[in-house]
């Protein structure tokens, strides 16, 4: 049975970042990812510049893959009333198809071990983990990072409490050939949800929306839902009617929730969405995934190289750092999502923001941090 210092479960942004970070400091990890790269993922594909210097220091410069620089933010209400502001930090748009695969290619060059398999169970006993893989047997590890995203059967195995709550949202995404300014991220409200719009590499348009299942299930299918609900917002109607889909059919995922989660479960240290998911309308889940991976990687480097920390101290430090960095963002995200759930309230808020665009920048700042230093 192979044994590793660190096994990372899930090769999305958090997992890929953590394995690259650890390898930079000579800590060999095993990354287990159940899917192949490249693959499309339901995501708004806008990333705040908070993580740009760090990504570049890991060898990934998004602009060399055609990322579009995002400078402005446009918000519209169900009625089509809209307002515009600058993005205080700025950001970029790049598809997950390209971003995750680019990180994977860097990882391959560094000879980091990646297994394409599914982790089916994790047990902690006698200061060691034992992980069961669907096809490739069992591995042992000193530390396990749970970077397996927002919801997995592993959460049930680990008896995580948030799995008892409902997960009432679903999301739909596709790429299109269509018109939209190159440097604007749009967030367009419709009854029951919001739709993010931005240009990505190759000039394609990413259109991704999240909606409550209660609303969506009133319609027969995605086409009918878009026509009867999204089209009520004149921005969305105009964009979608004039765009040609580049996918055979849209991608859809369900069972999305924004419940609080335990950060560490039976010593498995969670990062990215597995630790907590911010509402996509804040547009920085990817930054949070990357930053939390950096946070825990820094602590693991300290643990293995300085040897001056116990497991308990490492876990305690991670909890403190994570909460300091993300708790207030998550709270703001929850408040915002509730505000926008009510048609009249969201209309009132957008009309207010129209007169005071500086307030939008303040709200964006509350859900984002300062750019983190490169390595």
Ligand X SMILES: Cc1cc2nc3c(=O)[nH]c(=O)nc-3n(C[C@H](O)[C@H](O)[C@H](O)COP(=O)(O)OP(=O)(O)OC[C@H]3O[C@@H](n4cnc5c(N)ncnc54)[C@H](O)[C@@H]3O)c2cc1C
Judged by the rule CB under 6 A, the positions of this chain that interact with ligand X are 9-15, 32-35, 42-47, 118-119, 147-149, 152, 154, 171, 196, 208, 210, 256, 272-274, 280, 283-287, 289
Kindly tell me which of 27 and 274 has the beta carbon lying closer to ligand X.
274
Strand pairing class (46-48; 2-9)? unpaired
CA–CA gap between residue 55 and residue 61 (Å, rounded): 7
Determine the 3-state secondary structure of 188 from DSSP. strand
Kindly tell me which of 83 and 210 has the beta carbon lying closer to ligand X.
210
Kindly tell me which of 98 and 287 has the beta carbon lying closer to ligand X.
287
Kindly tell me which of 129 and 352 has the beta carbon lying closer to ligand X.
129
286 touches 316 (CB < 8 A): no
Kindly tell me which of 208 and 349 has the beta carbon lying closer to ligand X.
208
Min separation Cβ 181 and ligand X, Å: 16
Min separation Cβ 355 and ligand X, Å: 26
Largest CA-CA distance found in the chain, in angstroms, rounded: 64
CA–CA gap between residue 212 and residue 215 (Å, rounded): 6
- Using Cβ positions, the residue closest to ligand X within the complex turns out to be 12
Min separation Cβ 263 and ligand X, Å: 13
Kindly tell me which of 15 and 186 has the beta carbon lying closer to ligand X.
15
Min separation Cβ 136 and ligand X, Å: 11
Q: Which residues are CB-neighbours of 124 under 8 A, at least 6 positions away?
A: 130, 144, 266, 267, 268
Kindly tell me which of 252 and 352 has the beta carbon lying closer to ligand X.
252
Q: Phi and psi of 172, rounded to 5°?
A: -135, 140
CA–CA gap between residue 17 and residue 124 (Å, rounded): 24
Angle at 73 between CA 68 and CA 76, to 5 degrees: 130
Kindly tell me which of 243 and 289 has the beta carbon lying closer to ligand X.
289
Q: How far is CA 26 from CA 59, 145, 293, in A?
A: 16, 17, 16
24 touches 2 (CB < 8 A): no
Min separation Cβ 11 and ligand X, Å: 5
Min separation Cβ 351 and ligand X, Å: 25
84 touches 74 (CB < 8 A): yes
Min separation Cβ 306 and ligand X, Å: 27
DSSP code, position 306: I
CA–CA gap between residue 185 and residue 188 (Å, rounded): 10
Kindly tell me which of 245 and 309 has the beta carbon lying closer to ligand X.
245
Min separation Cβ 374 and ligand X, Å: 19
CA–CA gap between residue 41 and residue 38 (Å, rounded): 10
CA–CA gap between residue 15 and residue 20 (Å, rounded): 9
Both structure tokens of 172: 């739909």
Min separation Cβ 198 and ligand X, Å: 8
Alpha helices in the chain (DSSP H): 13-24, 52-57, 96-109, 153-157, 213-216, 222-228, 234-241, 285-301, 311-339, 343-355, 357-366
Min separation Cβ 371 and ligand X, Å: 14
Kindly tell me which of 169 and 303 has the beta carbon lying closer to ligand X.
169
């Amino acid at each position: 049975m192979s044994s590793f210092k660190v096994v990372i479960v899930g090769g999305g942004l958090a997992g890929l970042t953590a394995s690259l970070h650890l390898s930079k400091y000579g800590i060999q990890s095993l990354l287990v990812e159940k899917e192949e790269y490249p693959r499309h993922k339901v995501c708004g594909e806008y990333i705040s510049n908070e993580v740009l210097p760090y990504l570049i220091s890991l060898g990934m410069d998004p602009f060399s893959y055609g990322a579009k620089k995002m400078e402005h933010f446009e918000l519209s209400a169900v009625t089509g009333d809209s307002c515009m502001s600058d993005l205080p930090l700025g950001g970029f748009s790049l598809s997950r198809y390209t971003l995750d695969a680019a990180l994977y290619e860097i990882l391959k060059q560094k000879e980091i071990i990646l297994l394409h398999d599914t982790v089916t169970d994790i047990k902690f006993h006698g200061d060691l983990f034992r992980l069961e893989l669907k096809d490739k047997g069992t591995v042992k590890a000193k530390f396990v990072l749970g970077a397996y995203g927002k919801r997995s059967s592993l959460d049930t195995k680990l008896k995580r409490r948030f799995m008892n709550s409902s997960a009432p949202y679903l999301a739909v995404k596709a790429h299109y050939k269509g018109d939209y300014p190159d440097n604007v991220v749009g967030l367009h409200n419709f009854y029951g949800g919001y739709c993010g719009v931005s240009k990505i590499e190759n000039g394609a348009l990413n259109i991704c929306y999240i909606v409550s299942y209660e609303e969506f299930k009133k319609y027969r299918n995605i086409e009918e839902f878009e026509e009867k609900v999204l089209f009520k917002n004149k921005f969305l109607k105009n964009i979608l009617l004039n765009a040609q889909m580049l996918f055979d059919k849209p991608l859809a995922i369900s069972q999305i929730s924004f419940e609080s989660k335990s950060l560490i479960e039976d010593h498995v240290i969670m990062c990215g969405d597995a630790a907590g998911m911010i509402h996509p309308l804040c547009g920085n889940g990817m930054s949070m995934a990357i930053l939390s991976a950096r946070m825990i990687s820094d602590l693991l480097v300290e643990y293995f190289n300085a040897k001056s920390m116990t497991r308990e101290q490492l876990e305690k430090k991670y909890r403190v750092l994570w909460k300091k960095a993300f708790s207030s963002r998550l709270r703001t995200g929850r408040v915002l999502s509730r505000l926008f759930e009510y048609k009249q309230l969201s209309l009132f808020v957008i009309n207010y923001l129209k007169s005071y665009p500086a307030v939008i920048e303040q709200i964006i700042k509350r859900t984002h941090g300062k750019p983190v230093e490169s390595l």
